[in-house]
Amino acid sequence: MTLTDQPDPRRWKALAVTLTAGFMGLLDVNIVNVALPSIQKGIGGDAGTAQWVVSGYALTFGLVLVSGGRLGDALGRRRMFLIALAGFVAMSAFAGAAPTGEVLVVARLLQGCAAGLLTPQNTGLIQDLFRGAERGKAFGAFGSVVGISTAVGPVLGGLILAVFGEEQGWRWVFYVNVPIGAFAFVLALRLLPRAEGRPARLRSEIDFPGVLLLGLAVLGVLLPLVESEADGVRRLWWLFPVAAVFGFAFVRWERRVVRHERTPLMDVRLFTETPGYTPGALIGAVYFCGFAGIWLVFAMFFQQGLGYTPLESGLAVTPFAVGAAVSAAVAGRLVARWGRRLTVTGLSLVALGLGVVALLAWLAPGQDLGLVVALPLLVAGTGGGMVISPNTTLTLECVPTRMAGVAGGALQTGQRIGTAIGTAVLASVFRAVLPVSGNDFPAALAVSLVCAAGIVLFALGLGIAELRARRARASNDQLLSATPAAPYE
């Protein structure tokens, strides 16, 4: 990694390569949703197996984010990026060639692991390669990738199915990753900087008990949520207190590791002594709870309620992706000047846009609702782009570079948990309103989006509180203008 004062002249090309790979990993979280009927038609399997094609990926993706970040910190981000990318490409090919539903589920579990190892290397490399205002621009690009990948998945999935056919088109949802990933791997070999310093040993650098405890805690939270479509929350509710026990044990263990001057998986002082990290992580988790949960609701509304095809359903929400892509790039350039005010403004726009969509669904339901809501979705997407990249930049700004990977992994773990919670809650609200309203799909959409807007408003409250806290810190000891450093660096 390049840790010298002189910036790497190839840093922007390296960023383009890593973001391309990161886009594939994030896209595969939801692109498969529209292909589930095609998968069942192509290789059979019951609804539970099909659902695990989606849920299994999300589960293993979230499980390994922190460990993947720590491995990048310890062994080198270039090495971990290449290993994870090679695994992701191989598992994509394995998934596309799967002869049965059970084999496909296994492939998706392994593909999710590879994506979870890959994703935190992006934030770590940005921390390593960029400084000052350039870092904000780089995180702006990263925010665009996160926003676009979340919103554009249904569109790309629908396009692929339209081109390759209903019965076998699902295989190309996975195969498309292979040439793109292989090309990115070749470029990464040339462009990513090699790690400097001593080689690390897994046994001494990786806290394996911490990996186990944190993995069990995250598993206890995510498994009931990703199984919510199969009544998982009711069946597996007991895993939540189990997760709390393992989470408590993890914190106690990590503190013990630090006291004995060994290397922890995740130094908990990251949350207690790093200015802005904890509130930024909370804002991100809550925002993803409200933002990421709306896509399944929109898909159910447009496809089941209005009879749209998967492609038409995806195109109906494209204005959000367009707004997010443009505003994230712009916000990355402005974050050094405007700071947390960008996040507050963005959250306000998201809540406003979703609220207007809910109102239009209630007052003007009709077959052309996809066109009617395009403008408020564009407003919401513009706000969304102003949330993700500035929040990532501000949350990680005081994190020591040597912990950038694990900090980014923890931040994205919160976002994955928020996504799982939001998807489960908003889909449950949508389904609960339908029979009560006499299968009034616009009413179900409106109520679900009001709930989503309420969650975003809660994130807005957290953002306003952090804005005031940052101003207080700046006036007290001018932390914002000092070189980012933590007491445990």
Joined together, the tokens standing for residue 310 give 């998967």
Q: What is the dihedral of CA 260, 266, 271, 276, to 10 degrees?
A: 130
Q: Encode pLDDT of 173-198 as tens digits.
A: 899 899 999 999 999 998 888 765 44
Place of tokens 């690390």: 200
Mean pLDDT, range 255-262, rounded to an integer: 83
**Residue 200 and residue 75 in contact, taking contact as beta carbons nearer than 8 Å:** yes
95 vs 57: CA distance, rounded Å: 11
Check whether 320 has a pLDDT greater than 50.
yes
423 vs 452: CA distance, rounded Å: 10
271 vs 275: CA distance, rounded Å: 8
317 vs 338: CA distance, rounded Å: 29
What pLDDT score was predicted for residue 84?
93
- Candidates 187, 177, 166, 186; CA nearest to 27 is 177
195 vs 78: CA distance, rounded Å: 7
What pLDDT score was predicted for residue 227?
74
Q: Buried b / exposed e across 319-330, counting CB within 10 Å, b at 16+?
A: bbbbbbbbbbbb
| Long-range interactions of 193-196: CB distance < 8 A, separation 24+ | 193/1, 193/2, 193/8, 193/10, 193/14, 193/78, 193/128, 193/129, 194/1, 194/76, 194/78, 195/1, 195/75, 195/76, 195/77, 195/78, 195/79, 196/1, 196/2, 196/3
Check whether 11 has a pLDDT greater than 60.
yes
Mean pLDDT, range 409-418, rounded to an integer: 85
- 200 pLDDT band, cuts 50/70/90, is low
Q: What is the DSSP letter of 398?
A: T
What pLDDT score was predicted for residue 2?
43
| Least confident stretch, 203-207, 391-395, 471-475 | 203-207
Contacts of 209 (CB under 8 A, 6+ apart): 253
| Least confident stretch, 158-167, 194-203, 280-289 | 194-203
Contacts of 205 (CB under 8 A, 6+ apart): 74, 75, 263
413 vs 433: CA distance, rounded Å: 30
Residue of higher predicted confidence among 477 and 313: 313
**Residue 218 and residue 414 in contact, taking contact as beta carbons nearer than 8 Å:** no
294 vs 357: CA distance, rounded Å: 12
| Least confident stretch, 78-82, 148-152, 383-387, 400-404 | 148-152
Mean pLDDT, range 50-71, rounded to an integer: 83
| 473 class by beta-carbon count within 10 Å (0-12 exposed, 13-18 middle, 19+ buried) | middle
92 vs 118: CA distance, rounded Å: 14
Other CB atoms within 10 A of residue 70 CB: 27
- What's domain 11-195+265-474's superfamily in CATH? MFS general substrate transporter like domains (1.20.1250.20)
Contacts of 462 (CB under 8 A, 6+ apart): 279, 282, 283, 286
Number of H helices, E strands in the chain: 23, 0
What pLDDT score was predicted for residue 203?
64
Q: Taking the CA of residue 75 as centre, how many other CA atoms within 13 Å lie in the half-sphere pointing to its CB?
A: 20
Q: Is the dihedral of CA 346, 415, 146, 480 positive or negative?
A: positive
Percent of the chain past pLDDT 90, that is, above it, reads 22
pLDDT mean across residues, the chain: 83
Check whether 479 has a pLDDT greater than 50.
no
Check whether 5 has a pLDDT greater than 70.
no
* Total residue length of the chain: 489
Joined together, the tokens standing for residue 377 give 């979705």
What pLDDT score was predicted for residue 295?
82
What pLDDT score was predicted for residue 71?
86
Mean pLDDT, range 68-75, rounded to an integer: 84
Check whether 483 has a pLDDT greater than 70.
no
Mean pLDDT, range 124-141, rounded to an integer: 81
Contacts of 457 (CB under 8 A, 6+ apart): 347, 351
Mean pLDDT, range 242-262, rounded to an integer: 88
395 vs 378: CA distance, rounded Å: 26
Q: Encode pLDDT of 444-469 as tens digits.
A: 999 999 999 999 999 999 999 999 88
Contacts of 370 (CB under 8 A, 6+ apart): 302, 306, 308, 312, 315, 316
Check whether 486 has a pLDDT greater than 50.
no
397 vs 193: CA distance, rounded Å: 22
Residue of higher predicted confidence among 7 and 432: 432
Check whether 66 has a pLDDT greater than 70.
yes
37 vs 45: CA distance, rounded Å: 11
What pLDDT score was predicted for residue 74?
81
- Candidates 479, 334, 483, 390; CA nearest to 5 is 483
**Residue 221 and residue 65 in contact, taking contact as beta carbons nearer than 8 Å:** no
- 150 pLDDT band, cuts 50/70/90, is low
